[in-house]
Every structure is written in structure tokens, then in C-alpha cells.
Amino acid sequence: MLPSRHFYMIRHGETEANAAKIMAGSLDSPLNDNGRRQAQETKAIIESLQHKPRVIVHSHLSRARDTAAILNEVLGVAMHEDAGLAELHAGDWEGQPYDVCRSLLTGWQDPPNGESFQDFCARLQRSKTHALNTHDAPVMIVSHGGVFRGLGKIYGLEVPGVFKNCQLYEFMPDETKRTFPWAVWNYRIENGQTVRERTDVFDSCIA
């Protein structure tokens, strides 16, 4: 399992593929104007954090790298790229409309000629372990929606694809929890103020 350390994780801003409802996977779909605006707006949340990230680790895909660079404008910390944090390689479904690959988006069907979920979770576990063990906490991981689901899958949880573009999540170690050893919080801006809210998105998947 992963080191039980404090970290943040955020999905990249909206991309051209997201807006067109097309599966990007390992394709390098760039941020669109809305995605860049989302990242700019999220800087206010990052700036308000009591415990700010000390380092950023991001996927090699430009949508994650560019989101990380925008967020880092208020942190000025070291940034490290790790291809192991990239989205699932969706094989024949890459570049296809969401309707074609719905069983991947809402379930766990391995994509044809793509990366199996078993292999995906194995590389995520390696990369996340390296990030959390190598850098001072808290680390901020900037990656992809599937990476959130993969984190749950490592612990045997069937996490739904509910993670919005540029919504920040905080993972705090919680020794009272046996299956998924973090309490999870998310952040949003409401009436110009940062709101921190406990989420059960991982707990609700525990059988």
C-alpha cells in the first residue's frame, strides 16, 4: 500500500477532449481556455491553504504539466514530472466519444489493446509511493481523473468517476480507518471564500 502521509491531489483543468466528450487517455489533449481559467481560479484556494504543498509532482501530459505550472505561480516550489502518474492508456478507445467507452468511464472494463487496470494501478502505486517517500509532505499531485479512481482501486474500492476538473482534494492520514487510511477533504470557492468540506467519496465505496 501507499505511505500514509499527508498529500493533495488535483485533476487537470478542462481540455479540448473533455469539452468534446472524447476519451483522451494517453493522448496529449491540451488545456482549453476554460481549463486555464479553472486553474487560475484555483490559485486562490492554493494560496489560502494552512498547510501549503512543499513540492508538486505531475504527469508528463501537457494538461497536467500546464495546470501544475499555473498553480505553482502562488507557491514557487520545485516541480517534478513523472510519467507514471499519467492517465490510463485507453487503447482503441482513445480519441473515441464517451458513448463508445462508457464501460471504461463508469466501470472497470480493460480497454481493447490498451492498459489493463491491474497494470495501471501497479504503476500508480509505484509512482505515488516514490512521490510520498521522496519529498517533504505535503506533496501536491497534479494528474488525471482516472488516477483518483486508480487510487481507490489499489485499496479494493470501486470509486466512481466524480472528480471535476481542477477540484483540489486533501488526504490526511487517519489511523482509525482500516480500508482507506486517509480522511479526504475537497475545496471550492463559494461567495469569494475558500470552503473546505469532508467528502465520503472513498468511504462510500467500502463494502
Q: Report the pLDDT value the prediction gives residue 148, as an integer from 0 to 100.
A: 96
State the catalytic residues.
12, 87
Point out the residues of the chain with pLDDT beneath 50.
Answer: 207
The answer to whether 146 and 160 have CB atoms below 8 angstroms apart is no
Of all residues in the chain, the percent with pLDDT exceeding 70 is: 98
Neighbours of 200 (CB within 10 A): 10
pLDDT given for residue 160 in this prediction = 83
**pLDDT the model gives residue 121:** 97
Cβ burial, residue 156 (10 Å; 0-12/13-18/19+): exposed
Alpha carbon 111 to its chain's center: 20
Domain boundaries, the chain: 7-205
State the pTM of this model: 0.95
Architecture of domain 7-205: 3-Layer(aba) Sandwich (3.40)
The reported pLDDT for the residue numbered 207 is 47
At 192 the pLDDT is: 87
Q: In this predicted structure, what is the pLDDT of residue 206?
A: 59
